[in-house]
Structure 1
Amino acid sequence: MATTIPVIDFQHYGLQVENTQTVTDEDLKQLGEEIHEAFRTIGFCYIKNHGIPQEMIDKAFKISKDFFDLPVDTKTKVKRSVDSNNGWVSPGRESLNPDRPGDLKEAFNFKPPDEKDREFIRQCHQNIGNGNKNQTTLRSLMYPPLPTDGSILPGQTRCGEHCDYGTVTMLFQDDIGGLEVCNTTGKYIQATPVPGAICVNIGDLMQRWTADELKATKHRVLIPEDEVKKNKGRQSMAFFIHPDDDCVIKCLDGSDKYQPITALDYLNWRFSLTYY
């Protein structure tokens, strides 16, 4: 029974491995078993030695911060429309737990028309198909310093309890922390950032696809009790991996535990429950 988030070493199969033919079956078997166990139980893991250069990640964080530092009037010009997942999401517009008030965060969803000119996205997108045919998206998140004027609503959080919508998420965190994951005992634990590692989790669509063999896990970002952290902004970047839009998601074991649905229809249904 998993009560902590495991760290999985991709040293033998990260992007830094130029010739994957040199990877032994034994190494792949061990890696596959570790990933399966993590996703079968807690639904989260950290991967280290993944091969994405840290300087590239740092650069992406800087670009993200530069955007969020822009005036609201400027960001409004590129706001997310009702018929697109691209663009800026203003603070409070999104509620990942519909039972809570809008989340105290802002976001920018980015799906470029051609990944070949987007270095960081290209690194994340290695060997996962044609991004032009699916909703795989990079999302930059900014959790601004919390207001001190008493405007925080009862039950409001930085990011409400939720499971991700798609198949797999790669999460890049800063060193502030704050993400909490619900473990197999039903207790929320800190997903403390691991230097140089990517936090990876599966989403509801993968759980549906595997007929509940793999577990999508609820996670959240609460308002910190620490006064210093309340006055600090927090950044993260999530790379959401989705199947091609017309892919029909059917239970892989043939059980039909869940009704078949296309990947795009499922995502649009989830979005309809999320945005105000």
Structure 2
Amino acid sequence: MPVPAPQLGSYQFVAETKENLDWADLVTIDLSKYGTEQGKKELAQELLSALRTKGFFYVKNFNIPQERVNRQFALGREFYELPLEEKLKYVPDLDAGKFNGYTPSGRYVINPETGLKDHIEIWNMPKFNGYFPQEYPELIKEHLPEIEEFARSLHSEVLDPLFVLLALALELPEDYLTNLHLYQEKSEDHLRYMKYSKYTPEENAKLNLWTPGHTDLGSFTLLFRQPVAALQIKDPVKGEWKWVKPQDGTLTVNACDALSFLTGGYVRSTIHRVTVPPKDQQHVDRLGLLYFSRPHNDVKLATIKESPVLQRTGYTQNEFESTGNPVPTMEEWTFAKQKWQRSRSYVNRDEHRKAVILPGFQEKIYDDKPVAAAA
């Protein structure tokens, strides 16, 4: 590992909420058991159960020291302290669905009654594998070797084992899914620093949500623990919204659209949202560290025919196949959904939230209440 530059300093996490929230009961995948064949078999079934019943789960003992995680949070903190005019130099063509670089806050009206805009800033960094030329501010340039090493370790220590376990659960060769997610191949994975700046108490009083219910477009999303409670998931069995508790020493992981397509819906793309934090945490900003995993760009998102499990259970067609529409590649799907997501349309307009992303796939409204509460 490269020697860290000393000027970042330490990172202090805010205190957890003391409110008694309705927390989701999620499975924890303990990768310390991954080293034996019996452990793999047990973990494969635990993972499949988690994916089928919740869609979200925790991962622990993934061999990345907390100090390295804290360094990335510190980098995210320092990035968002840069002057806005400096960050704006790195804005991609958002209207075309581009996403690597900086997305400023204020693109979306989240309360039409008051005209209140979002407070969300995003900094995305693509794979460091030669396919993605990217400009960086000096702060990031100085730490690129460290950032690259961290991103690569998420593949080797977390994603590769998860894909092996899922392949085993689907009765596929162990390397079937890892071969669709090789770091050296071109895919739209990215590491993200994400900041939700606080709203005033008056603004929060008129909001139900900061981000409406949605699914992610890739394979797995990795979310590192940060203590500001705001993430909620929709239980796929009961349909109830539950809070996701930040657990020490874990990653929170969710399954996404690409896995749902590849398994004909057997693995669910998990619905989640970001809501207003509890009152004892509304005075602080919420900084997130995430990694978005996606299959290679040229992978066709057709249902995997080789899985005996999918054949036995009847999950043999996804939305595109069942409607007779062309099955997109991962690249086509990524940019179609990103373009829709990054549209400046008001995020709660029905015509936007129920748009056809590609022929054969129409988005849905996942919330049981509107984004903006009545004044």
Q: TM-score, normalised by structure 1?
A: 0.86
1:268 aligned onto 2:283: no
The answer to which of 118-127 and 243-252 deviates more is: 118-127
Cα distance in structure 1, aligned partners of 2:117 and 2:182: 34
- Tell me by how many angstroms 1:53 deviates: 1.1
Identify the residue that residue 69 of structure 1 maps to in structure 2.
81
In structure 2, the partner of 1:18 is none
Gaps of 5+ in 2: 1-23, 111-115, 131-143, 161-180, 306-310, 321-326, 345-375
Q: 1:244 to 1:25 in 2, by over 3 A?
A: same
Report which of the two structures shows the higher radius of gyration computed on alpha carbons: 2
Provide the C-alpha distance between the structure 1 equivalents of 2:106 and 2:205, rounded to a whole number of angstroms.
11
- The alignment status of 1:121 with 2:174, answered yes or no, reads no
CA contact (8 A) 2:219 2:294 kept: yes
1:103 shift after superposition: 4.1
Q: Distance in 2 between matches of 1:151 and 1:176?
A: 18
Q: Which amino acid aligns with 1:162?
A: H
2:226 equivalent in structure 1? 174
Task: Determine the structure 2 residue equivalent to 1:19.
Answer: none
Rounded Cα–Cα distance in structure 2 between residues aligned with 1:143 and 1:36 = 32
Aligned to 1:87: 101
Q: How many residues align?
A: 260
CA distance in 1, matches of 2:210, 2:74: 21
Among candidates 279, 295, 304, match of residue 243 of structure 1: 295
Residue 27 of structure 2 is matched in structure 1 by 6
- Sequence identity of aligned pairs in percent? 25
Q: 1:63 to 1:95 in 2, by over 3 A?
A: farther
Q: 1:131 & 1:160 partners in 2: Cα distance?
A: 34
How far does residue 132 in structure 1 lie from its aligned partner after superposition? 4.7
Q: Over residues 34-78 of structure 1, what are the superposed CA-to-partner deviations in whole Å (9 max), with x where a residue is unaligned?
A: 001101111010011111111000000000011112221111111
What RMSD over aligned residues (CA atoms) do the two structures have, in Å? Answer: 2.5
Q: Aligned letter for 1:256? A: Q
Q: By how many angstroms is 1:156 displaced? A: 6.6
The residue correspondences of 1:1-276 to structure 2 (distance < 5 A) are 4-13=25-34, 23-82=35-94, 84-93=98-107, 103-114=118-129, 117=145, 118-126=148-156, 127=160, 128-147=181-200, 157-183=209-235, 184-226=237-279, 228-253=280-305, 255-259=316-320, 260-275=327-342, 276=344
Q: Verify the 8 A CA contact 2:228 2:277 in the aligned structure 1.
A: no
Q: Using the TM superposition, give the Cα deviation of residue 131 of structure 1 relative to its aligned residue in structure 2, in angstroms.
A: 4.5
SS at match of 1:158: strand
Q: Which structure has greater helix proportion?
A: 2
Q: Distance in 2 between matches of 1:103 and 1:210?
A: 35
Q: TM-score, normalising length from structure 2?
A: 0.64
Letter aligned with residue 271 of structure 2: K
Cα distance, 1:269 vs structure 2: 1.0
Counterpart contact for 2:152–2:183, Cα < 8 Å:
no
Q: Give the Å deviation of 1:12.
A: 2.5
On the 8 A contact 1:105/1:159 being kept in 2, the answer is no
Name the SS of the counterpart of 2:93 in structure 1.
Answer: coil
Question: Equivalent residue of 1:261, what SS?
Answer: coil
Residue 40 of structure 2 aligns to a residue whose secondary structure is helix
Alpha-carbon contact 2:221-2:293 (below 8 Å) kept: yes
Cα distance in structure 2, aligned partners of 1:95 and 1:200:
29
The amino acid of 1:74's aligned partner reads: E
CA distance in 1, matches of 2:51, 2:195: 27
Q: Secondary structure at the match of 2:25?
A: coil
Structure 2 CA distance, aligned partners of 1:102 and 1:31? 43
SS at the partner of 1:80?
Answer: coil
* Distance in 1 (alpha carbons) for counterparts of 2:238 and 2:106: 31
Question: How far apart in 2 are the matches of 1:34 and 1:194?
Answer: 18
